[in-house]
């Protein structure tokens, strides 16, 4: 009997070990889609007019993201990115939808991106201005300058009803970088009246961040632009100099708070917007800096590259 029990333990032991929960599940690569917006809002577009919206899908996972993009509603066309797509980890793809309403009314739709990516709802309406309605928009563009990710800058424009009939407007931002603080949405401006529109710029990433604010049927869009930065010279770059650069070697060139930034630019160590020809960045990625120590981590190397790509600002 004891011998039979011993044999049973020997047989069952490996089986029990193989099913232990503390062994964990194998880690499998997985795609992770990140969408620039959950909706595409066209606002009100003039009948027979056209308007476009852009959607960006980024794959933040560790496996290739696959799918197939399509729209199947009257008035909408997928003019860029339609059909099967494949997005490698860390990469992104842009999809552009065009809206051309053929009649007055609402045109709801959905952008289908396949089973691995959430679908995107689409909203738009067709309308016509009544006879006698005329508009004047001032200014017709807004430049928000440069802002760090997380910062907010504001600007404003006015829409005037200069005709003899009320002016129909539906003021909507086309980009996640810009939001309408006040004066947005669907409204009717009486003849002789106006509406003040306050727009906020909060960059969602670095470099140029162009966009538009649609105003209403038959009214030109207001172009908006800003420049986003993700790296701060004072908070990020100088902190690396202070912790990783040898005091004797670089204190007189890079680390002096009063002259360090000017030295980087004036002595040609950094060429704004061009990391691949900037001597400082070349030395970092080739391991020649920091001298006598281990190379900078990849995240720190990326900070220098992005800082230079974003203009090497003294921010």
Give, in degrees to the nearest 5, the angle at Cα 132 between 130 and 133. 65
For the segment 216-252, what is each residue's pLDDT rounded down to a tens digit?
988 999 999 999 999 998 888 888 887 777 655 554 5
Distance CA 256, CA 250 (A): 9
Are residue 68 and residue 148 in the same domain, yes or no?
A: no
Is residue 1 one of the residues assigned to a domain?
no
Answer yes or no: do 82 and 56 share one domain: yes
- Which residue intervals of 19-76 are DSSP H helices? none
For the question of whether the overall pTM of this predicted structure is more than 0.75, the answer is no
- Statement to judge: residues 56 and 147 lie in one domain: no
Same-domain check for residues 88 and 119: yes
Q: How far is CA 314 from the centre of its chain?
A: 23
Which of 230, 253, 282 lies at the terminal end of a domain, its last residue?
230
> Which CATH number covers residue 224?
2.60.40.10
* Residue-level pLDDT at 23: 46
- Closest C-alpha among 241, 306, 232 to residue 273: 306
User: What is the distance in angstroms between the CA of the first residue and the CA of the last residue of the chain?
Assistant: 81
Which pLDDT score, from 0 to 100, does residue 268 have? 80
8 pLDDT higher than 50:
no
- Among 128, 156, 178, identify where a domain stops: 128
Exposed e or buried b for every residue in 194-224, given b needs 16+ CB within 10 A? bbebebbbbbeebeebebbbbbbbbbebbeb
The domain tally of the chain equals 3
Question: Would you call 185 exposed, middle or buried from its count of C-beta atoms within 10 A (0-12, 13-18, 19+)?
Answer: exposed
Q: Quote the domain boundaries for residue 134.
A: 129-230
How much is the average pLDDT of 34-55? 88
Per-residue pLDDT at 110: 96
By C-alpha distance, which of 216, 211, 214 is closest to 201?
211
Residue 218 lies inside a defined structural domain of this protein: yes
**How many Å separate Cα 215 from the centre of its chain?**
23
Of 205, 230, 255, at which residue does a domain stop? 230
How much is the mean pLDDT over the chain?
85
Is 24 among the domain residues? Answer: no
Q: What is the pLDDT of residues 76-128, one digit of tens each?
A: 999 999 999 999 988 999 999 999 999 999 999 999 999 999 999 999 999 99
Instruction: Tell whether 8 is covered by a domain.
Output: no
Residue 78 lies in a domain: yes
Residue percentage of the chain with pLDDT more than 70: 87
Whether pLDDT at 261 is above 50? yes
* Residues 146 and 118 grouped into a single domain: no
């Amino acid at each position: 009997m004891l011998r039979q029990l011993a044999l049973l333990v020997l047989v069952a032991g490996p089986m029990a070990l193989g099913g232990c929960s503390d062994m964990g599940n194998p880690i499998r690569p997985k795609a992770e889609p990140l969408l620039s917006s959950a909706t595409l809002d066209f606002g009100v577009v003039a009948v027979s007019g056209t308007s476009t919206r852009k959607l960006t899908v980024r794959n933040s996972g560790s496996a290739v993201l696959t799918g197939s993009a399509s729209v199947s509603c009257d008035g909408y066309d997928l003019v860029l990115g339609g059909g099967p797509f494949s997005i490698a980890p860390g990469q992104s793809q842009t999809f552009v939808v065009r809206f051309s309403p053929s009649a007055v009314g609402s045109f709801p739709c959905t952008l289908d991106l396949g089973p691995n990516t959430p679908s995107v709802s689409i909203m738009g309406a067709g309308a016509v201005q009544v006879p006698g309605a005329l508009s004047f928009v001032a200014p017709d563009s807004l430049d928000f300058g440069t802002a760090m990710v997380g910062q907010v800058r504001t600007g404003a424009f006015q829409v005037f009803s200069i005709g003899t009939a009320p002016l129909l407007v539906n003021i909507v931002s086309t980009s996640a970088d810009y939001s309408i603080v006040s004066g947005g949405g669907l409204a009717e401006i009486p003849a002789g009246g106006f509406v003040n529109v306050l727009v906020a710029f909060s960059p969602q990433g670095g470099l140029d961040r162009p966009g538009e604010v649609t105003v209403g049927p038959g009214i030109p869009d207001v172009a908006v632009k800003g420049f986003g930065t993700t790296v701060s010279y004072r908070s990020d770059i100088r902190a690396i100099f202070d912790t990783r650069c040898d005091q004797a070697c670089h204190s007189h060139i890079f680390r002096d708070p009063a002259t360090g930034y000017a030295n980087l630019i004036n002595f040609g160590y950094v060429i704004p917007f061009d990391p691949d020809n900037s001597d400082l960045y070349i030395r970092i990625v080739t391991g020649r800096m920091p001298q006598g120590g281990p190379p900078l981590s990849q995240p720190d190397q990326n900070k220098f590259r992005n800082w230079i790509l974003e203009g090497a600002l003294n921010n």
